[in-house]
Amino acid sequence: MMMIAKVVIFLLSIAKFAASTPCNRTCGGERVSYPFGFSDGCEFRLNCSSEGKMEFKRFGIRNITSESLLLNISTNCSRPIEEIHQLFGKTYALASQNALLLRNCSSPLNGCVVQWSLLENRFGRRAECGGLGRRENMSCYALEGQGGLLSFKDVRDTGCKVLYSSMVIDSAESTVGDGSDVTLALQTVQVSWWLNGGCGGCDGNAACVKVPPDGYRCHCNAGFSGDGFAAGHGCHIGLRRYRGRKIAVIGGVIGCAAIIVVLLALLCCFFRRRSACSKSQTRARRLLSEAAGNATVPLYPYKEIEKATNGFCEKQRIGTGAYGTVYAGRLHNNEYVAIKKIKHRDTDSIEQVMNEIKLISSVSHPNLVRLLGCCIENG
């Protein structure tokens, strides 16, 4: 009884150790995603050769997708058809996209037709198998329709003896016209894979694809990336989409910040100029008031002065002095006036004009002009 207990405990310990064995998902510097791996603790076991090449059942792996394995299968004139049996298992089988090239068949096959010129152009003399075979001895076997799985029994029942090679035919609906795009991969065999169990193993952002009778696969929903399995990396927002959103947000923030900075700069310049203009006008009013003997001097807007002289038209020029030019003009009340425009805004010119204002304001005579007002705006 004690020995039986020890054996049970020993077996339980082994099972526990096997269940806790971590999965090695790296081979030759390349890493595969869940459920694949290269050790006993992996859900779907692959092989890693001594040269660091990924293999499955001694066939080199060309690509791994969310639905299948694409394997290299070179031409071989003497490979027994039974060797393909290793590509059928509890969680994998040949996909319907395969077109198997078989030789030494007891009767012609009608599953698919391959032009001999295609094989001859691609394989050369190898298609003849050293000249020992005949063209009529090459047959093609494929499953009718898409989406199903081949069975080893059907392949064996073809009556063919040699597995020469395989092709993968992938047809997808074209977005242009009414035709379809068809790709043909030579010396390739496609193996569909799945996991046994229910859909509970899928991530919350993944869809479950059932594979009869008891299998399933997980695919991340649109906008998400990952392996789709809850026990793996699951599904997360696609990196490109995230980067695109991040760049858009950063760009929007930078753009808004730039607009705000420009607006603040414009407002700052506006208020500075307004402040400077206000100070200048206040100073000008003070000087005018002092020049006119502290009397109030009316101020005219520059636009009215410009309109009165037709834009300081040369035809309305009366004369030109050292400090300014005099134009004839008519105000909005039809009153004719003489308007003197200062040439330079330096100290001497302003001082000379102030002296003239003092003189005109201090003397009243019928033959002298009368001061109606001034314009101190920038024109």
What is the greatest pairwise CA distance in the chain? 145
Distance CA 184, CA 142 (A): 14
**What Å distances lie between residue 247 and 19, 60, 113, 208, 244, CA to CA?**
44, 40, 52, 32, 5
Query: Is omega for the bond preceding 366 within 30 degrees of 0, making it cis?
Result: no
Instruction: Establish whether 341 is an annotated binding residue.
Output: yes
Element containing residue 122 per DSSP (H, E): helix 116-123
Distance CA 58, CA 15 (A): 28
Distance CA 288, CA 358 (A): 9
* Other Cβ atoms closer than 10 A to 357: 19
DSSP state, 299?
Answer: B
Q: Do 324 and 340 contact (CB within 8 A), yes or no?
A: yes
Helical axes 239-291 vs 347-362, angle rounded to 10°? 40
Distance CA 8, CA 111 (A): 53
Burial zone of 32 (CB within 10 Å; 0-12 exposed, 13-18 middle, 19+ buried) = buried
Distance CA 94, CA 111 (A): 15
For the chain, the C-alpha Rg in angstroms (whole number) is 47
Distance CA 282, CA 276 (A): 10
If phi over 0 gives left and psi between -120 and 50 gives alpha, with beta otherwise, what is residue 156?
alpha
Could you list the residues known to form a binding site for ATP, using ranges: 341
Indicate the annotated binding residues. Answer: 341
